[in-house]
Amino acid sequence: MTQTPAFDKPKVELHVHLDGAIKPETILYYGRKRGIALPASTAKELQDFIGMDKPLSLPGFLAKFDYYMPAIAGCREAIKRIAYEFVEMKAKEGVVYVEVRYSPHLLANSKVEPISWHQAETRLPYLEGASLTVGMVQAAETQDPKRRGGRARWGPPGPPMTWLLPFQEAVRSNIHRTVHAGEVGSAEVVRAAVDTLKAQRLGHGYHTVEDEALYKRLRQENMHFEVCPWSSYLTGAWKPDTQHAVVRFKNDRANYSLNTDDPLIFKSTLDTDYQMTKRDMGFTEEEFKRLNINAAKSSFLPEGEKRELLDLLYHAYGMPPSAAAGTFPSELLGARLARLSVGLRARCPPFLSWVAPRMCDDSLGTSPWLVAASH
Ligand SMILES: [Zn+2]
């Protein structure tokens, strides 16, 4: 029997990884088609093998990607398919706007070093790979060398100097920026993400609350926290015998969203995160509305489209519209998801011509943005 959704209204999701949101059936299909060995032969077995039911260490979680990404990485057709299936998945979850992130260099199979999963070298270079997905994201490498099976190139935790240049360039080019920080790292990592990398949003950010002065400052600056409750349980980023930071965020009426992070591995949907916060943390319908409106306000959409998205939510939530803009019949919601998710609109600033020139194809329409760290 299907569970009643915890919040059966349009939702906004800002933190989900494309390579952590793939259908097991698709992994099997491309494993067979490409002759790549997988640890299971049915979708159910594969889901059980990859998925987590109980907390694992962060390296244990990240090792999961090694089992299945070789079936997808380096294959243009597979990358395109997982992107379309991702949009379909989110539409079914009632998500009307999603910002999905991915790492083009991890999916490439030429002109990158190292090649992440030893995918056979052919003709899918990093920059070309960037043009293939539905999403709008450019990801930098992880900040922790233990993650990604030790293959990450960057140094110790904290914003490495290697990142500084691309982030400075992103600031100069007016490209939006979100940084994973304070997931398992300390509040100091959060401070560095904000002050050094000029993050506009924080991926996770839970440990910010351990530094009251920093937390107070970020609240005053209306910093957005991309919270992933179920993920934080399974990765050990949150210890269940302590109060989850999202409860503090709720009580303080801070600016945050609820997100899945890697639903394939966490065997979850967005409803899992809403159920968890409703059942275990006392979240109400009103709080779900408030956090989704904050998510829309903190999205990286251009202002005009952000206003449209907000009006859509106000309409769906039965709240007074924020402006005199039009209303949005429910049949437009699905179409809007596809349009917004596929979109690449802005003209290519100089930075993107270095990172991902194909993302700036005007025919696709997108607002490019920059992400640091992997999961
Ligand atoms: Zn993440």
pLDDT in tens, 11-42: 999 999 998 999 999 999 999 999 999 999 99
Q: How many CA atoms, within 13 angstroms, populate the side-chain half-sphere of residue 129?
A: 25
Candidates 13, 99, 141, 183; catalytic one: 183
Q: Ligand 1: distance of its center to the CA of 327 in Å?
A: 33
What residues flank ion ligand 1 with Cβ within 5 A?
261, 375
Write the pLDDT tens digit of every residue in 232-249. 999 999 999 999 999 999
pLDDT in tens, 72-104: 988 889 988 998 899 899 999 999 999 988 777
The region of weakest confidence among 50-64, 135-149, 215-229, 282-296 is 135-149
Q: CA-CA distance, 374 to 351, in Å (whole number)?
A: 20
Closest CA to 83 of 272, 292, 359: 359
Separation CA 225–CA 205 (nearest Å) = 6
Say if residue 374's pLDDT is above 90.
no
Question: Does the active-site annotation cover 183?
Answer: yes
Residues 337-344, mean pLDDT to the nearest whole number? 32
Domains of the chain, with CATH numbers?
11-21+72-113+133-322 (3.20.20.140)
DSSP string, 41-96: SSHHHHHHHH--SS---HHHHHHHHHHHHHHHTT-HHHHHHHHHHHHHHHHHTTEE
Please give the model's pTM, rounded to 2 decimal places.
0.81
